Amino acid sequence: WVANTLDFNKTYDASVFETTIRVVGGLLSTYDLSGDNIFLEKARDIADRLLPAWDTPSGIPYNIINLARGNAHNPGWTGGDSILADSGTEQLEFIALSQRTGDPKYQEKVEKAIVALNKTFPADGLVPIYVNPNDGTAYGTITFGAMGDSFYEYLLKAWIQGNKTSSVKPYRDMWETSMKGLVSLIRRSSPSSFAYICEKTRETLTDKMDELACFAPGMLALGSSGYGKVEAKKILSLAEELAWTCYNFYQSTHTKLAGENYLFNPGRDMSVGTTWNILRPETVESLFYLWRLTGNVTYQEWGWNIFQAFEKNCRIESGYVGLTDVNLALKDNKMQTFFLAETLKYLYLLFSPPTVIPLDEWVFNTEAHPLRIVNRNDDIAGSERQHKPTVGLQSRKTGRFGGN
Protein backbone atom coordinates (compact mmCIF):
# COMPACT_ATOMS: atom_id res chain seq x y z
CA TRP A 1 0.00 0.00 0.00
CA VAL A 2 2.81 2.43 0.86
CA ALA A 3 4.59 1.62 -2.40
CA ASN A 4 1.56 1.73 -4.68
CA THR A 5 -1.07 3.93 -3.08
CA LEU A 6 0.41 6.42 -0.60
CA ASP A 7 0.40 9.82 -2.32
CA PHE A 8 1.33 13.07 -0.58
CA ASN A 9 0.51 15.34 -3.53
CA LYS A 10 -2.65 16.65 -1.88
CA THR A 11 -4.09 20.13 -1.80
CA TYR A 12 -4.25 19.89 1.96
CA ASP A 13 -3.14 22.28 4.71
CA ALA A 14 -1.09 20.04 6.99
CA SER A 15 0.36 20.65 10.43
CA VAL A 16 4.13 20.67 9.95
CA PHE A 17 4.59 19.34 13.51
CA GLU A 18 1.99 16.56 13.39
CA THR A 19 3.02 15.45 9.91
CA THR A 20 6.68 15.34 10.93
CA ILE A 21 6.25 13.33 14.11
CA ARG A 22 3.61 10.95 12.76
CA VAL A 23 4.33 10.53 9.05
CA VAL A 24 8.03 11.36 8.59
CA GLY A 25 8.87 9.74 11.94
CA GLY A 26 6.73 6.69 11.25
CA LEU A 27 8.22 6.11 7.81
CA LEU A 28 11.81 6.59 9.02
CA SER A 29 11.21 4.24 11.95
CA THR A 30 9.81 1.59 9.63
CA TYR A 31 12.86 2.04 7.41
CA ASP A 32 15.21 1.61 10.37
CA LEU A 33 13.36 -1.52 11.48
CA SER A 34 12.95 -3.10 8.05
CA GLY A 35 15.71 -1.73 5.82
CA ASP A 36 13.15 -1.38 2.98
CA ASN A 37 14.03 1.70 0.90
CA ILE A 38 10.42 2.45 -0.03
CA PHE A 39 9.89 3.90 3.44
CA LEU A 40 12.94 6.15 3.12
CA GLU A 41 11.78 7.35 -0.31
CA LYS A 42 8.33 8.21 1.04
CA ALA A 43 9.81 9.94 4.07
CA ARG A 44 11.92 12.08 1.76
CA ASP A 45 8.89 12.90 -0.42
CA ILE A 46 6.80 14.21 2.46
CA ALA A 47 9.77 16.00 4.08
CA ASP A 48 10.50 17.83 0.82
CA ARG A 49 6.90 19.07 0.85
CA LEU A 50 7.33 20.36 4.40
CA LEU A 51 10.69 22.12 3.88
CA PRO A 52 9.34 25.51 2.64
CA ALA A 53 7.82 26.02 6.10
CA TRP A 54 11.32 26.92 7.35
CA ASP A 55 11.77 29.72 4.80
CA THR A 56 11.26 32.53 7.32
CA PRO A 57 13.52 35.45 8.28
CA SER A 58 14.51 33.76 11.55
CA GLY A 59 14.45 30.11 10.53
CA ILE A 60 11.59 29.45 12.95
CA PRO A 61 9.11 27.51 10.79
CA TYR A 62 5.55 28.37 9.99
CA ASN A 63 3.34 25.67 11.45
CA ILE A 64 0.96 24.93 8.55
CA ILE A 65 1.80 24.14 4.92
CA ASN A 66 -0.12 23.06 1.84
CA LEU A 67 1.39 19.75 0.76
CA ALA A 68 0.79 20.27 -2.98
CA ARG A 69 1.45 23.99 -3.30
CA GLY A 70 4.12 24.53 -0.63
CA ASN A 71 2.65 27.77 0.70
CA ALA A 72 3.14 28.00 4.46
CA HIS A 73 1.51 30.12 7.15
CA ASN A 74 0.58 30.13 10.81
CA PRO A 75 -2.92 29.57 12.20
CA GLY A 76 -5.00 32.71 12.54
CA TRP A 77 -5.60 32.25 16.25
CA THR A 78 -1.90 32.71 17.07
CA GLY A 79 -1.84 36.21 15.62
CA GLY A 80 0.69 35.16 13.02
CA ASP A 81 3.14 33.65 15.47
CA SER A 82 4.54 30.12 15.55
CA ILE A 83 4.05 27.72 18.45
CA LEU A 84 7.09 26.60 20.44
CA ALA A 85 6.41 22.85 20.46
CA ASP A 86 5.32 22.93 16.81
CA SER A 87 8.54 24.72 15.82
CA GLY A 88 11.04 22.83 17.99
CA THR A 89 9.92 19.22 17.52
CA GLU A 90 11.23 18.28 14.08
CA GLN A 91 14.92 17.85 14.83
CA LEU A 92 15.02 14.08 15.36
CA GLU A 93 13.18 13.25 12.17
CA PHE A 94 14.95 15.69 9.86
CA ILE A 95 18.41 14.97 11.26
CA ALA A 96 17.71 11.24 10.84
CA LEU A 97 16.57 11.86 7.26
CA SER A 98 19.82 13.68 6.47
CA GLN A 99 21.80 10.84 8.02
CA ARG A 100 19.93 8.16 6.08
CA THR A 101 19.95 9.98 2.71
CA GLY A 102 23.30 11.78 2.91
CA ASP A 103 21.57 15.08 2.07
CA PRO A 104 22.33 17.76 4.69
CA LYS A 105 19.48 20.12 3.78
CA TYR A 106 16.96 18.59 6.20
CA GLN A 107 19.28 18.83 9.19
CA GLU A 108 20.32 22.37 8.24
CA LYS A 109 16.72 23.59 8.16
CA VAL A 110 15.71 22.24 11.57
CA GLU A 111 18.93 23.18 13.30
CA LYS A 112 18.58 26.77 12.08
CA ALA A 113 15.42 26.95 14.19
CA ILE A 114 17.31 25.82 17.30
CA VAL A 115 20.06 28.35 16.61
CA ALA A 116 17.39 31.07 16.39
CA LEU A 117 15.81 30.02 19.68
CA ASN A 118 19.23 29.83 21.32
CA LYS A 119 19.94 33.46 20.40
CA THR A 120 17.21 34.63 22.76
CA PHE A 121 17.36 31.63 25.10
CA PRO A 122 16.46 32.82 28.62
CA ALA A 123 18.74 32.27 31.62
CA ASP A 124 16.26 29.79 33.13
CA GLY A 125 15.81 27.95 29.83
CA LEU A 126 12.03 28.41 29.91
CA VAL A 127 10.70 29.60 26.56
CA PRO A 128 7.15 30.99 26.22
CA ILE A 129 4.82 29.19 23.83
CA TYR A 130 4.43 31.84 21.09
CA VAL A 131 7.46 32.56 18.89
CA ASN A 132 7.71 35.29 16.25
CA PRO A 133 8.94 33.68 13.00
CA ASN A 134 10.48 36.97 11.87
CA ASP A 135 12.85 37.64 14.76
CA GLY A 136 12.60 34.55 17.03
CA THR A 137 11.32 36.45 20.07
CA ALA A 138 8.89 34.60 22.32
CA TYR A 139 6.01 35.59 24.60
CA GLY A 140 3.06 34.07 26.47
CA THR A 141 2.71 31.25 28.95
CA ILE A 142 5.57 28.96 29.94
CA THR A 143 4.43 25.36 30.25
CA PHE A 144 5.60 21.76 30.04
CA GLY A 145 2.09 20.95 28.85
CA ALA A 146 0.29 21.80 25.61
CA MET A 147 2.27 23.87 23.07
CA GLY A 148 5.52 23.75 25.08
CA ASP A 149 6.19 20.12 26.02
CA SER A 150 8.08 18.42 23.20
CA PHE A 151 10.50 21.31 22.55
CA TYR A 152 12.26 20.38 25.80
CA GLU A 153 11.99 16.66 25.03
CA TYR A 154 13.79 17.12 21.71
CA LEU A 155 16.67 19.09 23.23
CA LEU A 156 17.49 15.97 25.23
CA LYS A 157 16.72 13.46 22.50
CA ALA A 158 18.78 15.24 19.83
CA TRP A 159 21.74 14.79 22.18
CA ILE A 160 20.91 11.09 22.59
CA GLN A 161 20.28 10.67 18.86
CA GLY A 162 23.77 12.06 18.15
CA ASN A 163 25.23 9.47 20.53
CA LYS A 164 26.05 12.18 23.12
CA THR A 165 29.11 13.37 21.20
CA SER A 166 30.63 16.85 21.35
CA SER A 167 28.80 17.93 18.19
CA VAL A 168 25.44 17.60 19.97
CA LYS A 169 26.56 18.94 23.36
CA PRO A 170 24.85 22.33 22.72
CA TYR A 171 21.50 20.49 22.82
CA ARG A 172 22.39 18.96 26.18
CA ASP A 173 23.53 22.32 27.53
CA MET A 174 20.24 23.96 26.53
CA TRP A 175 18.30 21.07 28.04
CA GLU A 176 20.13 21.22 31.38
CA THR A 177 19.45 24.95 31.54
CA SER A 178 15.75 24.25 30.91
CA MET A 179 15.71 21.59 33.62
CA LYS A 180 16.92 24.19 36.14
CA GLY A 181 13.93 26.19 35.02
CA LEU A 182 11.65 23.18 35.41
CA VAL A 183 12.86 22.67 38.99
CA SER A 184 11.97 26.32 39.71
CA LEU A 185 8.36 25.54 38.70
CA ILE A 186 7.98 22.55 41.06
CA ARG A 187 5.53 22.96 43.92
CA ARG A 188 4.01 20.40 46.30
CA SER A 189 0.39 20.01 47.20
CA SER A 190 -1.17 19.88 50.62
CA PRO A 191 -1.89 17.74 52.48
CA SER A 192 -0.29 14.88 50.48
CA SER A 193 2.79 16.67 49.07
CA PHE A 194 2.31 15.63 45.44
CA ALA A 195 5.03 17.27 43.33
CA TYR A 196 3.67 19.10 40.27
CA ILE A 197 4.93 21.47 37.57
CA CYS A 198 3.34 24.90 37.60
CA GLU A 199 2.67 27.03 34.55
CA LYS A 200 4.09 30.54 34.46
CA THR A 201 2.99 33.79 32.81
CA ARG A 202 5.50 36.58 33.32
CA GLU A 203 6.16 36.30 37.07
CA THR A 204 2.85 34.65 37.99
CA LEU A 205 2.67 30.92 38.69
CA THR A 206 -0.54 28.97 38.07
CA ASP A 207 -1.13 25.77 40.06
CA LYS A 208 -2.21 23.75 37.03
CA MET A 209 -0.59 20.77 35.32
CA ASP A 210 -1.64 19.08 32.06
CA GLU A 211 -1.60 15.32 31.70
CA LEU A 212 0.52 16.14 28.65
CA ALA A 213 3.24 17.29 31.08
CA CYS A 214 3.40 13.73 32.42
CA PHE A 215 6.01 13.02 29.74
CA ALA A 216 8.41 14.94 32.00
CA PRO A 217 9.13 12.14 34.52
CA GLY A 218 10.31 9.90 31.67
CA MET A 219 12.34 12.72 30.14
CA LEU A 220 14.04 13.49 33.45
CA ALA A 221 14.80 9.81 34.05
CA LEU A 222 16.21 9.46 30.53
CA GLY A 223 18.41 12.53 30.96
CA SER A 224 19.56 11.81 34.50
CA SER A 225 22.49 9.66 33.38
CA GLY A 226 24.21 12.65 31.77
CA TYR A 227 24.71 14.37 35.14
CA GLY A 228 27.28 13.70 37.83
CA LYS A 229 26.32 11.12 40.44
CA VAL A 230 24.79 13.49 43.03
CA GLU A 231 22.79 15.57 40.54
CA ALA A 232 21.68 12.44 38.66
CA LYS A 233 20.20 11.05 41.87
CA LYS A 234 18.28 14.29 42.49
CA ILE A 235 16.89 14.39 38.95
CA LEU A 236 15.84 10.72 39.08
CA SER A 237 14.20 11.28 42.45
CA LEU A 238 12.21 14.21 41.04
CA ALA A 239 11.20 12.02 38.08
CA GLU A 240 9.85 9.41 40.47
CA GLU A 241 7.96 12.01 42.50
CA LEU A 242 6.31 13.43 39.39
CA ALA A 243 5.44 9.95 38.13
CA TRP A 244 3.64 9.28 41.43
CA THR A 245 1.64 12.47 40.89
CA CYS A 246 0.76 11.49 37.33
CA TYR A 247 -0.30 8.02 38.42
CA ASN A 248 -2.58 9.65 40.97
CA PHE A 249 -4.13 11.74 38.20
CA TYR A 250 -5.55 8.36 37.19
CA GLN A 251 -6.24 6.95 40.63
CA SER A 252 -8.12 10.05 41.83
CA THR A 253 -11.08 9.64 39.43
CA HIS A 254 -14.05 7.30 39.43
CA THR A 255 -12.91 5.51 36.25
CA LYS A 256 -9.21 5.45 37.30
CA LEU A 257 -8.44 7.35 34.08
CA ALA A 258 -6.87 10.81 34.10
CA GLY A 259 -8.53 14.03 33.07
CA GLU A 260 -6.87 16.40 30.60
CA ASN A 261 -5.48 18.67 33.32
CA TYR A 262 -5.45 19.12 37.09
CA LEU A 263 -5.69 22.04 39.49
CA PHE A 264 -3.93 22.14 42.84
CA ASN A 265 -5.58 24.03 45.68
CA PRO A 266 -4.27 24.29 49.25
CA GLY A 267 -5.69 21.55 51.42
CA ARG A 268 -7.30 19.72 48.49
CA ASP A 269 -4.33 18.18 46.70
CA MET A 270 -5.45 17.69 43.07
CA SER A 271 -8.79 18.11 41.34
CA VAL A 272 -9.74 17.48 37.71
CA GLY A 273 -9.89 20.64 35.63
CA THR A 274 -10.87 19.55 32.12
CA THR A 275 -12.69 16.24 32.48
CA TRP A 276 -12.05 14.43 29.22
CA ASN A 277 -9.60 11.60 28.53
CA ILE A 278 -8.65 11.02 24.89
CA LEU A 279 -6.45 7.96 25.47
CA ARG A 280 -3.25 9.97 25.95
CA PRO A 281 0.09 8.15 26.42
CA GLU A 282 2.27 10.49 28.50
CA THR A 283 1.96 8.80 31.89
CA VAL A 284 2.54 5.26 30.59
CA GLU A 285 5.45 6.63 28.52
CA SER A 286 7.09 7.80 31.74
CA LEU A 287 6.33 4.50 33.46
CA PHE A 288 8.09 2.70 30.61
CA TYR A 289 11.25 4.81 30.99
CA LEU A 290 11.28 4.55 34.76
CA TRP A 291 10.89 0.78 34.64
CA ARG A 292 13.65 0.45 32.04
CA LEU A 293 16.04 2.72 33.95
CA THR A 294 15.36 1.57 37.53
CA GLY A 295 14.11 -2.01 37.17
CA ASN A 296 11.36 -1.20 39.71
CA VAL A 297 8.37 -3.42 38.94
CA THR A 298 6.05 -0.96 40.71
CA TYR A 299 5.95 0.93 37.42
CA GLN A 300 4.70 -2.18 35.66
CA GLU A 301 1.98 -2.55 38.30
CA TRP A 302 0.86 1.05 37.80
CA GLY A 303 0.87 0.55 34.02
CA TRP A 304 -1.21 -2.60 34.34
CA ASN A 305 -3.78 -0.75 36.44
CA ILE A 306 -4.03 2.02 33.84
CA PHE A 307 -4.37 -0.55 31.04
CA GLN A 308 -7.16 -2.29 32.92
CA ALA A 309 -8.97 1.04 33.32
CA PHE A 310 -8.74 1.62 29.55
CA GLU A 311 -10.08 -1.92 28.98
CA LYS A 312 -12.99 -1.40 31.36
CA ASN A 313 -14.06 2.09 30.32
CA CYS A 314 -12.91 2.64 26.75
CA ARG A 315 -13.00 -0.65 24.86
CA ILE A 316 -15.90 -1.14 22.49
CA GLU A 317 -16.55 -3.72 19.77
CA SER A 318 -14.73 -1.76 17.04
CA GLY A 319 -11.79 -0.38 19.06
CA TYR A 320 -11.31 2.09 21.90
CA VAL A 321 -12.87 5.48 22.54
CA GLY A 322 -12.06 8.35 24.84
CA LEU A 323 -14.22 9.70 27.64
CA THR A 324 -15.90 13.09 27.81
CA ASP A 325 -15.97 12.82 31.60
CA VAL A 326 -13.60 10.64 33.61
CA ASN A 327 -15.84 10.61 36.67
CA LEU A 328 -19.12 9.92 34.87
CA ALA A 329 -17.54 7.43 32.41
CA LEU A 330 -19.23 9.12 29.43
CA LYS A 331 -17.77 7.90 26.13
CA ASP A 332 -16.88 9.97 23.09
CA ASN A 333 -16.80 8.50 19.56
CA LYS A 334 -13.17 8.65 18.48
CA MET A 335 -9.96 6.65 18.79
CA GLN A 336 -7.00 9.00 18.45
CA THR A 337 -4.12 7.61 16.35
CA PHE A 338 -1.66 8.08 19.22
CA PHE A 339 -3.49 5.41 21.21
CA LEU A 340 -1.99 2.79 18.89
CA ALA A 341 1.26 4.61 18.09
CA GLU A 342 2.07 5.52 21.69
CA THR A 343 -0.23 4.42 24.50
CA LEU A 344 -0.46 0.74 23.61
CA LYS A 345 3.13 0.64 22.32
CA TYR A 346 4.55 1.95 25.58
CA LEU A 347 2.34 -0.45 27.55
CA TYR A 348 3.56 -3.31 25.35
CA LEU A 349 7.18 -2.30 25.89
CA LEU A 350 6.58 -1.89 29.63
CA PHE A 351 6.00 -5.67 29.73
CA SER A 352 8.61 -6.64 27.12
CA PRO A 353 12.23 -7.62 27.78
CA PRO A 354 14.59 -4.60 27.88
CA THR A 355 16.35 -6.07 24.83
CA VAL A 356 13.34 -5.07 22.69
CA ILE A 357 14.28 -1.61 21.36
CA PRO A 358 17.15 -1.08 23.86
CA LEU A 359 17.58 2.52 24.89
CA ASP A 360 21.29 2.66 24.08
CA GLU A 361 20.57 1.86 20.43
CA TRP A 362 17.27 3.60 19.79
CA VAL A 363 15.64 6.93 20.61
CA PHE A 364 11.87 7.37 20.47
CA ASN A 365 10.48 10.41 18.74
CA THR A 366 7.61 12.20 20.46
CA GLU A 367 5.09 9.96 18.66
CA ALA A 368 6.89 6.85 20.01
CA HIS A 369 8.49 5.89 16.70
CA PRO A 370 11.96 4.42 17.44
CA LEU A 371 14.87 5.83 15.44
CA ARG A 372 18.28 4.22 15.44
CA ILE A 373 21.02 6.15 17.26
CA VAL A 374 23.80 7.01 14.82
CA ASN A 375 27.09 8.70 15.67
CA ARG A 376 26.62 12.34 14.79
CA ASN A 377 28.90 13.28 11.94
CA ASP A 378 28.28 16.58 10.20
CA ASP A 379 29.86 15.08 7.11
CA ILE A 380 26.43 13.62 6.43
CA ALA A 381 27.57 11.41 3.58
CA GLY A 382 30.17 9.86 5.86
CA SER A 383 27.53 9.31 8.50
CA GLU A 384 25.30 7.56 6.00
CA ARG A 385 28.05 5.12 5.05
CA GLN A 386 28.19 3.98 8.67
CA HIS A 387 24.43 3.43 8.88
CA LYS A 388 23.07 -0.09 8.66
CA PRO A 389 19.28 0.00 8.91
CA THR A 390 18.32 -3.66 9.16
CA VAL A 391 17.58 -4.76 12.71
CA GLY A 392 17.16 -8.19 14.26
CA LEU A 393 15.24 -7.39 17.42
CA GLN A 394 15.80 -10.69 19.12
CA SER A 395 19.55 -10.57 18.66
CA ARG A 396 20.23 -7.08 19.99
CA LYS A 397 22.65 -6.78 22.85
CA THR A 398 21.21 -5.69 26.18
CA GLY A 399 23.38 -2.60 26.33
CA ARG A 400 23.95 0.01 28.96
CA PHE A 401 20.31 0.57 29.89
CA GLY A 402 19.10 -2.91 29.06
CA GLY A 403 19.75 -4.64 32.37
CA ASN A 404 16.90 -5.21 34.79
Residue 376: partners with Cβ closer than 8 Å, 6 or more residues away? 161, 162, 163, 165, 167, 168, 383
Q: Per the omega criterion (within 30 degrees of 0), is the bond before 217 cis?
A: no
384 annotated active-site: no
240 annotated active-site: no
- Rounded to whole angstroms, the Cα distance separating 346 from 372 reads 17
What is the CB neighbour count within 10 angstroms for residue 126? 21
Among residues 32, 81, 149, 285, the one annotated as catalytic is 149
8 Å CB contact between 65 and 23: no
- Rounded to whole angstroms, the Cα distance separating 250 from 194 reads 14
Distances (CA, A) of 186 to 112, 242, 300: 31, 9, 26
- Binding-site members are 366
- Rounded to whole angstroms, the Cα distance separating 81 from 83 reads 7
- Binding-site members for Ca(2+) are 366
Identity of the residue numbered 355:
T
- Rounded to whole angstroms, the Cα distance separating 214 from 246 reads 6
- Rounded to whole angstroms, the Cα distance separating 345 from 369 reads 9
- Rounded to whole angstroms, the Cα distance separating 90 from 50 reads 11
Among residues 18, 135, 207, 384, the one annotated as catalytic is 18
Q: Reduced to 3 states, what is the DSSP secondary structure of residue 312?
A: helix
Count each helix (H run) and each strand (E run) in the chain, helices first: 15, 19
Give pairs for 301-305: CB < 8 Å, separation 24+. 302/247, 303/347, 303/350, 303/351, 304/351, 305/250, 305/251, 305/256
Among residues 210, 282, 342, 367, the one annotated as catalytic is 282
Work out the angle at residue 168's Cα, subtended by the Cα atoms of residues 166 and 174, and round it to the nearest 5 degrees: 115
- Rounded to whole angstroms, the Cα distance separating 271 from 261 reads 9
Among residues 32, 86, 240, 260, the one annotated as catalytic is 260
Give pairs for 77-83: CB < 8 Å, separation 24+. 78/130, 79/130, 80/133, 81/130, 81/131, 81/132, 81/133, 82/130, 82/131, 82/132, 82/133, 83/17, 83/129, 83/130, 83/131, 83/147
For residue 24, give the DSSP letter. I
18 annotated active-site: yes
- Provide the annotated active-site residues: 18, 149, 260, 282
